[in-house]
Amino acid sequence: MGSRFAAFHLAGAAVAVSAIIAAMATGMVSAPPAQAADAAAGRALAERWCATCHVVGEAPQSAASDAPPFTAIAARDGDISPAWLAFRLLVPHPQMPQVSLSRAQAADLSAYLATLKK
């Protein structure tokens, strides 16, 4: 009797899993939509973390003379996409201080840089 009861529960679980897979395959259930990057949040991050070396806003010069202004980074034609830049911010260059950014923060910074493109 115990084995029939266990088999019934297993069969019920298989039906439930099959229903979930079918719902996902037909689009009835989907992953939550990704949040859009927030350029304003990116600017705030840039002013907090990046402005010690880079010109972020209207400041005339940066603290580190060899650090390019954000407008110069944004003006690069073709070689910097928002996705590439967001990835690059997660793996910073050697001269960059170790700042642990989340993927959302990196996307926000990338979105801010995109607003500077002329």
Q: What is the pLDDT of residues 30-45, one digit of tens each?
A: 544 457 889 999 999 9
Q: Indicate if the pLDDT at residue 110 is higher than 50.
A: yes
pTM of the model: 0.62
Higher per-residue confidence, 4 vs 92 = 92
For 58, 71, 97, the CA distances from 61, given in Å and listed in that order, are 9, 12, 19
19: Cβ contacts below 8 Å, ≥ 6 apart: none
Domain coordinates in residue numbering, the chain: 1-31, 39-115
Distance CA 48, CA 26 (A): 45
Averaged pLDDT for residues 57-70? 74
| Tokens matching residue 39 | 């350029």
Q: Which fold has domain 39-115?
A: Cytochrome Bc1 Complex; Chain D, domain 2 (1.10.760)
Averaged pLDDT for residues 77-95? 75
